Chain A
Amino acid sequence: ETGVTQSPTHLIKTRGQQVTLRCSSQSGHNTVSWYQQALGQGPQFIFQYYREEENGRGNFPPRFSGLQFPNYSSELNVNALELDDSALYLCASRLDSHYGYTFGSGTRLTVV
Chain B
Amino acid sequence: TQLLEQSPQFLSIQEGENLTVYCNSSSVFSSLQWYRQEPGEGPVLLVTVVTGGEVKKLKRLTFQFGDARKDSSLHITAAQPGDTGLYLCAGHQEQNQAGTALIFGKGTTLSVSS
- Interface residues in chain A, defined as those with a beta carbon under 8 Å from any beta carbon in chain B: 4, 33, 35, 40-45, 48, 50, 55-58, 90, 92, 99-106
Contact = CB atoms under 8 A, between A and B. Distances in A.
B114 to A, nearest CB: 23
Interface string B73-109: 0000000000000101010100110111111111101
Nearest to B50: A99
Contact of B88 (A43, A50, A55): A43
B44 interface: yes
26 contacts: A35-B104, A40-B86, A42-B6, A42-B88, A42-B90, A42-B104, A45-B102, A45-B103, A48-B95, A50-B98, A50-B99, A56-B95, A56-B96, A56-B99, A56-B100, A56-B101, A90-B42, A92-B43, A92-B102, A101-B33, A101-B45, A101-B102, A102-B45, A103-B43, A105-B40, A106-B42
Given A99-B31, A99-B50, A100-B45, A55 B106 contact: no
B62 interface: no
Contacts, number: 67
Contacts of A45: 101-104
Nearest to B47: A100
B25 interface: no
B24 interface: no
Given A40-B86, A55-B96, A106-B42, A100 B104 contact: no
